[in-house]
Amino acid sequence: MKLAASYAQITTEEEGLWDIDVNLFLSEETSVTANYTPRTCSGDLVVKLGEWLKNTAAEGLMAYVNAMFADASST
């Protein structure tokens, strides 16, 4: 889950687009393109893991999110 989450982060360019116009960012994000990016792939991977492993995948994702927020609050 940690690897999938790291690949799912938005790029600096996408972050700039988010700052300029959220609606434009969302329309770009949801548009169907020929580009299969690591971000898209990691989302698909997490969905497939959820379908295959059910609760185990959700528990792994929850553990990662909890650890991520625990680290952020300790700094």
C-alpha 65/C-alpha 63 separation (Å) is 6
Q: What is the pLDDT of residues 25-62, one digit of tens each?
A: 777 777 756 677 788 888 899 999 999 998 999 999 99
Domain boundaries defined on the chain: 2-74
Closest CA to 10 of 21, 25, 30, 20: 25
Burial of 38 (0-12, 13-18, 19+ CB in 10 A): middle
Determine contact, residues 28/39, Cβ cutoff 8 Å.
Answer: no
CB atoms within 10 A of CB 1: 19
Q: What is the pLDDT of residues 20-32, one digit of tens each?
A: 888 887 777 777 5
Among 2-6, 34-38, 44-48, 65-69, the minimum mean pLDDT is found in 34-38
